[in-house]
Chains A and B, each alone.
Chain A
Amino acid sequence: MRIGLVIWVIIAAIVSGTAPIEPELSELMMAYQAGRLEAFDALYAKLAPKLRGYLSSHTYNASLTEDLLQETFLQIHRSRHTYAPPRPVRPWVFAIARHVYLMHRRASARRYSVETAAPGELPEVPVPPAMEQLGSHRDVWRALAELSDDRREAVLLHHVWGFTFGEIGAMLGIRAGTAKLRAHRAISALRTLLASPDARGGARDPR
């Protein structure tokens, strides 16, 4: 069963052009769909840290991130039948998390920024590894906050969470080339922001 699934995932990945990953997540997801609670526990353990980082990159607010994470898992539970094995689990999960965030933003009609979060509440927002050498974690984090949502999302999805541009395109409803362009422009903007000492204080995303 397990070997068959792995082979099937690899074939599906080759056909769809995505990396052959996640057979374990797929298997857990199928067990979850079959009604096994321990599969949910394992999925939560594997996915929650990544989703927390992803939601933090949008909200820049630790308590809100926790609320949205909880809502994301509830939405995952209600929509678990929409996962079609053996497709990759992570794009499916991240798409739901994105949906939860966007619904929250629309419903509350509020915009969160790095300034709205109190210093004690700052969540751990991941930064692209390639950027860490350009400044301190906090500088990169602040520079990321200066990027437009579209660019920040594309660069984090690709450089931090390792999604292919095809997967990012499918999640965001854009072409793979557009996703690549956004990520590329985000990296250029980050370099510009981090190269200038003045810009570290809060310059806008240079377009």
Chain B
Amino acid sequence: MTQDSSFEKIRREVAQDLKPVRPLCSGWTSALIVFPVALFLLSLVLIVYGLRSDAAEIGSAPLWVPASLMVASAYAVLVLALIQRAPEATVSWTWWVALPLAAIVFQVGGAYWTLTHGSVPPSVSWQVEAMCFWRVSALGLPPVILVLVLLSRGLPLRPKVAGLLGGLGGGFISEGVYRLHCGISHPGHIVPWHTSAVLVMGLLGLLAGIWWEHRRLQSWAER
């Protein structure tokens, strides 16, 4: 095929669909969606479950600071996910490994800080503890779906990484909000029942990314 005929063919295709498009917002701006979503989930948790029973005893800072820190971590992780909607902005692995790990350290550290300000909760059955896993996961689903929709509007060249980070970000939002209700702050409860729910959200995002990449490859192979 000659270069001129290549150009003419592309030009014809371009001319057929040349409607104006609006550039995507930057990852920093798009990730601000975290805050209205967190407020919505917060209202939901406060209405349906209420604040933890020992909230007055713990005090404002040990209750709200770790929760806010989680939401801020979610914002940072989602920035990393959403900047990858632009194809030229692929994140180095040191960032996408280090930032979620730091968020998990904040999660467990924040819980421990809350624990030192409250009374030791009575021991509960594992079924009660497992309830936290299901609730954090359920609350995390809407933000994860929202982030995946936002990601699908761009062209992330590593959809698996973008999906993983998007899932983790959604999980951190729900964890930050649900933290205000859960009365058990011991790391022995947080890691297996809360952190695992966040990781499952990440896994969900990763699977969505794998599916997306597979579909892209399939459509390419069919041409």
Cβ–Cβ contact A84 & B15, under 8 A: no
Q: A63 at the A/B interface (Cβ < 8 Å)?
A: yes
Task: Check A35–B6 contact: CB distance below 8 A.
Answer: no
Residues of B within 8 A of A169 (CB): 92
In the complex, what's the smallest C-beta–C-beta distance from B220 to chain A, in angstroms? 5
B57 adjacent to chain A (CB < 8 Å): no
A107 and B221 contact, Cβ closer than 8 Å, known pairs A77-B17, A81-B21, A81-B24: yes
Query: Given the complex, which residues of A lie within 8 Å of B216, measured CB to CB?
Result: 103
Expressed in whole angstroms, the Cα–Cα distance for A149 and B51 within the complex equals 56
Whole-angstrom CA separation of A48 from B10 in the bound complex = 12
Q: Is the interface of B mostly helix, strand, loop or mixed?
A: loop
Interface locus among A91-99, A135-143, A183-191, A195-203: A91-99
How many residues does chain A have at the interface if contact means C-beta atoms less than 8 Å apart?
A: 47
Q: How far is the CA of A153 from the CA of B102 in the complex (A)?
A: 33
CA distance A73 to B9 in the complex (A): 11
Interface size on B, residues (CB 8 A): 40
Known: A40-B11, A63-B1, A74-B10. A82 touches B20 (CB 8 A): no
**Contact A95 B90, CB 8 Å, known A33-B20, A34-B20, A107-B221:** yes
User: How far, in whole Å, are A174 and B96 apart by their CA atoms in the complex?
Assistant: 11
A80 within 8 Å of B (CB atoms): yes
Are A85 and B14 in contact, with the CB atoms below 8 A?
no
The A5-59 residues at the B interface (CB cut-off 8 A) are 33-37, 40-41, 44, 48
B26 CB contacts on chain A under 8 angstroms: 84
Chain A's nearest CB lies how many Å from the CB of B157? 5
Residues of B contacting A48 in the complex (Cβ-Cβ under 8 angstroms): 3, 7
In the complex, are the beta carbons of A66 and B20 less than 8 A apart? no
Known: A44-B11, A92-B88. 17 other contacts (CB 8 A): A33-B22, A40-B11, A44-B10, A66-B6, A67-B1, A79-B155, A82-B24, A82-B86, A83-B23, A84-B86, A96-B87, A99-B87, A108-B221, A172-B90, A173-B91, A173-B157, A173-B158
Hey, which bits of chain B sit against chain A, CB under 8 A? 1, 3, 6-7, 9-11, 13-15, 17-26, 85-94, 153-155, 157-158, 161, 216-217, 220-221
